[in-house]
Structure 1
């Protein structure tokens, strides 16, 4: 059975969560081809906190994030974004939830090449018919150091700048939570450090909630907390992580019989 890991706010209120999964199970296939990707996972992500998810290849990291973000269906259990239960939402309500309360950042920047950085940042709000908050967008752009790049198209930006535009786009609608799947995977070490620094700053300075899947112990060290998965189950956690402590834990997970 999966370990239950509560997440609390700094004041200790266990209900100050941006997302929660309870006994979340995801099964692919049937019969002989059945694969249990997530096995009754219970975990919560505190509001205004930065959490990294780590584990060996095939441990269920991305599957957990996709299920909690409403990008993949759930076989059993439950998943909530704030007070909203995802299970049972029809496509229209699920689309609205993802649009209004969730931000996504992936390895692929997914910027439209014909639009400027500014237009890419506000595109989801434009599609939803919502007016951007100019003060909020300006704050994000300033924090990300994009003020002088807003008129540039993606092809005129470096990889790190493109990823920062993608981050600004994810933040522009003030989502309850940002899910980031290997957001530095396509970046060099310098650009990756810039993106991770901004994610850290967005939690500290903007009160954002960030959940990041990563395989990189250095990237995980930017988080407040690391949740480890192994074989589709929660295998422990680490608070105030350092790269060395994360690496030691990951090595233990890769060794048979050492999962805690």
Structure 2
């Protein structure tokens, strides 16, 4: 494991706790989690339903606030940042790929890809954009609108949008959940290539052992705690680890 203070840590958390409610209704979604996300690697987060995996990703990405503990993206501590500062950090340093493609139907694929930069008033680096588009195989689809694209192509546009701003981190929340197995494999392959060929850092929440097998490392959560890790995973090895976890108590 990379040391928490090492410059190779793209994101990290120390004592990360997230609780909802109070008293008898208090539910602990994350229970004093320590985690380091290594730069330039593909990390998958897995666990039973309700284990806290999506909550962990949302906290690391600055989409949700911690009840206690500390979170960093690079050398910037998120704890204590105001809403405007968090918005700027997410816009400038983080990319997101969600299960729902979240493409604007009136825009072309290219316009959807460059939309975050356009909103921020920044120009997308044309050489980088061309490299992303070529890596994702979207060169002949840039003028198409979402309804003219397959589900797999729409998700590839969403991946390109996340990559286009050249963020430090890409967070993907069940990115293949709405895709068939072939399209899902395509998207996972492109996320893998974005790490290997574009030097990106990807963190993906998934429930699918086959999807997790594309990662360099799988982190396992159960009942809001980090309970195991698996380097160089295979689908069978992930399934075997998952089968040993008891059902969670939270949702």
Q: Taking structure 2 as the reference length, what is the TM-score of the superposition?
A: 0.96
Q: What is the CA–CA distance in structure 1 between the aligned matches of 2:89 and 2:168, rounded to whole Å? A: 10
Q: Quick one: which of 190, 208, 211 aligns to 2:203?
A: 211
Aligned length: 247
| Counterparts of 2:53 and 2:2, CA distance in 1 | 18
Render the CA deviation track for 1:9-46: whole Å, top value 9, x for unaligned. Answer: xxxx9430110011000000111111000000000011
For 1:33, the equivalent position in structure 2 comes to 25
Residues 44-123 of structure 1 mapped to structure 2, 5 A cutoff: 44-123=36-115
How far the C-alpha of 1:253 sits from its partner, in A, is 1.2
Kept in 1: contact 2:7–2:74 (CA 8 A): no
Unaligned 5+ runs, structure 2: none
Where does residue 228 of structure 1 map in the other structure?
220
**Cα distance, 1:255 vs. partner?**
7.0
| Residue matched to 1:242 | 234
Please report the TM-score for the alignment, with normalisation by the length of structure 1.
0.93
| Correspondence list, 1:164-175, <5 A | 164-175=156-167
RMSD of aligned alpha carbons:
1.2
Q: In structure 2, how many angstroms separate the alpha carbons of the residues matched to 1:143 and 1:179?
A: 18
Distance 1:247 1:43 in 2: 22
Deviation at 1:184, TM superposition (A): 0.3
| Secondary structure of the structure 1 residue equivalent to 2:144 | coil
1:88-167 residue pairs with structure 2 within 5 A?
Answer: 88-167=80-159
The aligned residue for residue 3 of structure 1 is: none
